[in-house]
Amino acid sequence: MKSAIELNEIRNTFKDEVCQYTNGSIARILVGVATCGIAAGAESVISEFQEQLNQLGLSDIAITQTGCIGVCDLEPIVDVIMPGEDKVTYVRMTPEKVKKVVSNHIKNGHIVEEYTIKHILDNLNTKGLANINSTKLEEVNFFKKQKRIALKNCGIINPESIDEYIALNGYKALEKAIIEMTSKEVVDLLKESGLRGRGGGGFTTGLKWEFTAKAENDKKYVVCNADEGDPGAFMDRSILEGDPQSILEAMTIAGYAVGANKGFIYIRAEYPMAVKRLEKAISQAKEYELLGKNILGTNFSFDIELRLGAGAFVCGEETALIRSIEGERGMSVQKPPFPANSGLWGKPTLINNVETFANITQMILKGSEWFRSIGTEKSPGTKVFALGGKITNTGLVEIPMGTTLREVIYEIGGGIPHNKEFKAVQTGGPSGGCIPFTHIDSPIDYDTLTAIGSMMGSGGMIVMDEDNCMVDVAKFFLEFVSHESCGKCSPCRIGTKRLLEILTKITEGKGTIEDIDNLERLSHDIKATALCGLGQTAPNPVLSTLKYFRHEYEAHVNEHRCVAGVCKAFKSYTIKPVRCVGCGVCARVCPVHAITGVVKKPYSIDQEKCIKCGACMDQCRFEAIENTFKKERE
């Protein structure tokens, strides 16, 4: 078995090597190979680097993969580190660009400026990312207000190398916990830190650990909830792809703290890269005897297995997740008893999500006071968000709690593209709420978001502009949650479908004022009576949009008008004769042949046949087609 001394020898050996890579004393090429990087072509970029270096006899230069650093839109991202030089970050790389980088920069020492982060972003005039004088990615404005704890190693180390993880103090927290601390001291430190669960509800993590530790039983379990199902959310996936060993270390610490010897990572099968890297990480940890029996020469033993989920959103709820691991259908069960007392196979079970575990090792090493110095009094630490929607800079951001929505959207996110007006930001996934501009200066923490009608959730943050219809947005999220309901309780199974039916009726121009009242009443009834968190929070998009954007609902009903021009029932495409040159393009692209006319003369649209798809308007080069809104009932 590995002893703490042997582990430290590994750390010292590889620490020098990793530091040499990062400070420029050894040549290295670092390529982002997470899901976003692969989708953008990172694998072909690596292959081209290998081929070009071999041709020039430079095969001794290391080409290393890493995880996602957060700026997904700029992938494939490549860091070139040459001896005696500052690191240079190239973005949106292609095999053709690789050839020039190798021949000019690596061979002859001339940086290819037009491919660097600075040049690309200056040309794009990207707010929040531009205005930099450096070719280093971490010096752009996007990162300046971030503080990385959960994402500390993502985009920095090779996620498939346990040696690189150990070199950057990996498994040092485990050493400290199981050799220098009692189980109770670990739990007490966590309680003192004030860490709240990053998976949605925000329950105090230390209390959950304490409840599990105090439960008396001959067998206990630790479960990592990696069933990330929110549309547009990819925080957990990126951590698992970029730093899987940190989760294994944190789970092992948790096992020691609560008295468990077995752990499970429940991850959805739609994350093949994360699954692959977790499997490799577990294998390496076992090889180094950091998982298994008598870890680091102590009497403590702990092992971890993967369990793949089939993609049911409800399995993100802890009791449904437990049923799924047990081989049963993923359906929520009534609480109490809580999993801390009766979870997997009726045994005490600790369940935390990926991001919660990603905070543990730094907290053990640096202490609870350090953690509490970040964020706010009631919401200490940082939170990772998947920033998307109508925003200039999309990607992963990790910010201290208490950072305002305005700072995230306008300073980190770069504001709304195309000079559009900000309308709302939706936090908390499909069960979250839509926050209007009037609350844009609200600090981001658990209690504030709840007070203004939203929630923290797992960390999705979707920005909407003037072109979004808030009734349609509510309908979109209700389509998702009603489809994902496990069906066990009628408030969720039937109630969400009734909400969706009413929303559909309103967006189709058939709604009444009574429908708006019914939406509100039914939403409150579902929240009060649904069995689990999915059903209890499902009406949040409806209630928040009714609270802040009720005038849009009323416009649909009273004026037969969609304020944003999104709902098809209120659209009317017409051709302006003075602009139409009679080219016939609109008629050719119309899928239902609703447009007729004679060449070189103005065409017309049959409103009875028109399905309001907008294809004609998209293809018209002369701006002869306009989209108007019906003001009166037909």
pLDDT in tens, 213-253: 999 999 999 999 999 888 888 999 999 999 999 999 999 99
pLDDT-wise least confident of 135-149, 206-220, 224-238, 330-344: 135-149
Asked if 156 contacts 66 with a C-beta cutoff of 8 angstroms, the reply is: yes
pLDDT tens sequence across 599-613: 999 999 998 899 988
Which pLDDT band holds residue 130 (cuts at 50, 70, 90)? Answer: very low
Per-residue pLDDT, averaged over 322-341, amounts to: 92
AA identity, residue 525 = D
Nearest to 28 by CA among 70, 96, 85: 85
Domain ranges of the chain: 18-140, 162-371, 382-465, 470-559, 568-629
Amino acid 230: pLDDT: 83
Q: Quick one: tokens of 152?
A: 């500390």
Torsion sign, CA atoms 396, 275, 283, 224: positive
Amino acid at 496: T
Question: Beta-carbon neighbour count of residue 452 at 10 Å?
Answer: 19
Q: Rounded to 5, what percent of the chain is helix, strand, coil?
A: 45, 15, 40
Query: 519 or 23: which carries more pLDDT confidence?
Result: 519
* Highest mean pLDDT of the ranges 127-141, 371-385, 419-433: 371-385
Residue 444 phi/psi, 5° resolution?
A: -90, 105
Q: What is the pLDDT of residue 21?
A: 54
Cα–Cα distance measured from residue 618 to residue 627, given in angstroms and rounded to the nearest whole number: 11
- Listing DSSP states for 102-139 in one string gives IIIIITT----GGGBHHHHHHHHT-TTT-S---S-GGG
Q: Are 385 and 429 in contact (CB under 8 A)?
A: no
Both tokens of 47, joined, read 């292959």
Name the β-bridge partners of 32: 66
332: left (phi > 0), else alpha (psi -120 to 50), else beta? beta
Architecture of the domain defined by 18-140: 3-Layer(aba) Sandwich (3.40)
CA 179 to chain CA centroid, Å, is: 35
What amino acid is encoded at 3 in this protein? S
pLDDT of residue 128 exceeding 60, the answer is no
CA distance 372 to 384: 17
pLDDT of residue 633: 35
Query: Which is higher by pLDDT, 505 or 12?
Result: 505
Tell whether domain 162-371 is in CATH 3.40.50.11540: yes
What Å distances lie between residue 71 and 154, 198, 355, CA to CA? 12, 21, 18
Any idea which residue has 């039983």 for tokens?
217
| pLDDT tens digits, 240-298 | 999 999 999 999 999 999 999 999 999 999 999 999 999 999 999 999 999 999 999 89
Q: How many CB atoms lie within 10 A of CB 59?
A: 11
Mean pLDDT computed over 136-147: 78
Confidence of residue 138 (pLDDT cuts 50, 70, 90): low
Give residue-wise pLDDT tens across range 388-425. Answer: 999 988 899 999 999 999 999 998 998 999 999 999 99
Which among 375, 120, 66 has a CA at the least distance from the CA of 243? 66
Helices marked H in 337-458 = 354-358, 360-366, 368-372, 405-406, 446-451
Domain 382-465 fold: Ubiquitin-like (UB roll) (3.10.20)
Question: Contact 62/106 with Cβ under 8 angstroms?
Answer: no
Question: Mean pLDDT score of the chain, rounded to an integer?
Answer: 90
Do 388 and 414 meet the contact criterion of CB atoms below 8 Å apart?
no
Q: What is the pLDDT of residue 131?
A: 46
CA distance 553 to 571: 16
Q: Which two tokens stand for residue 250?
A: 């944190």
Where does residue 53 rank: exposed (0-12), middle (13-18), buried (19+ CB within 10 A)? buried
> Which band of pLDDT confidence, cut at 50, 70 and 90, is reported for residue 574?
very high
H-state helical runs in 488-595: 490-493, 495-507, 513-529, 533-537, 540-554, 585-589
CB 291 within 8 A of CB 252: yes
How do residues 185-206 score in pLDDT, each as one tens digit? Answer: 999 999 999 999 998 778 999 9
Residue range 345-359: mean pLDDT, rounded: 97
* Largest pairwise CA distance in the chain: 89
CATH 3.40.50.300 fits 470-559, yes or no: no
| Of residues 175 and 21, more confidently modeled | 175
Q: Using CA atoms, how far apart are residues 618 and 586, in angstroms rounded to an integer?
A: 9
DSSP state of 299: S
Close Cβ partners of 134 (under 8 Å, ≥ 6 residues apart): 86, 118, 140
Buried b (16+ CB within 10 A) or exposed e, 409-426: bbbbbbbbeeeeebbbbb
Q: What is the pLDDT of residue 18?
A: 60
Q: What is the mean pLDDT of residues 503-523?
A: 95
10 Å CB burial of residue 515 (0-12, 13-18, 19+) is: middle
β-pair partners for 21: none
Rounded to an integer, what distance in angstroms lies between the CA atom of residue 482 and that of residue 225? 22
Rounded to whole angstroms, the Cα distance separating 596 from 170 reads 69
- CA-closest candidate to residue 91, choices 28, 24, 142, 45: 45
Given a contact cutoff of 8 angstroms between Cβ atoms, the answer to whether 549 and 472 are in contact is no
Question: Given a cut of 80, is residue 551 above it in pLDDT?
Answer: yes
**Which residue from 136, 144, 164 is spatially nearest to 244, judged by alpha carbons?**
164
Does pLDDT of 634 surpass 70? Answer: no
Give tens-digit pLDDT for 15-64: 666 655 555 557 889 999 999 999 999 999 999 999 999 999 988 888 99
pLDDT of residue 458: 82
| Confidence check: pLDDT of 133 > 80 | no
**How high is the pLDDT of residue 112?**
93
For position 605, what pLDDT does the model report?
A: 95
CA distance 560 to 351: 48
Q: 568-629 is classed in which CATH architecture?
A: 2-Layer Sandwich (3.30)
